[in-house]
Amino acid sequence: MPKLDELTPAEARTRVDAGEAVLIDVREPFEHRDEHIPGAHLVALSAFDPAEVARLAGDRTPIFQCRSGKRSADAAHRFATDDATVVHLAGGILACKEAGLANERAASAPKVD
pLDDT in tens, the chain (113 residues): 678 899 999 999 999 999 999 999 999 999 998 888 989 999 999 999 999 999 999 999 999 999 998 999 999 988 987 777 899 999 999 998 888 876 766 555 455 55
- Residue 85 pLDDT: 81
Please state, as a whole number, how many other Cβ atoms lie within 10 Å of the Cβ of residue 98: 10
Q: What size, in residues, is the chain?
A: 113
Rg (CA), the chain: 13
The shares of helix, strand and coil residues in the chain, as percent rounded to the nearest 5, are: 40, 25, 40
In b/e form, how buried is each residue of 27-57, taking b as 16+ CB within 10 angstroms?
A: bbeebbebbbbeebbbbbbeebeeeebeeeb
Three-state DSSP class for 108?
Answer: coil
pTM (two decimals): 0.88
- Residue 113 pLDDT: 52
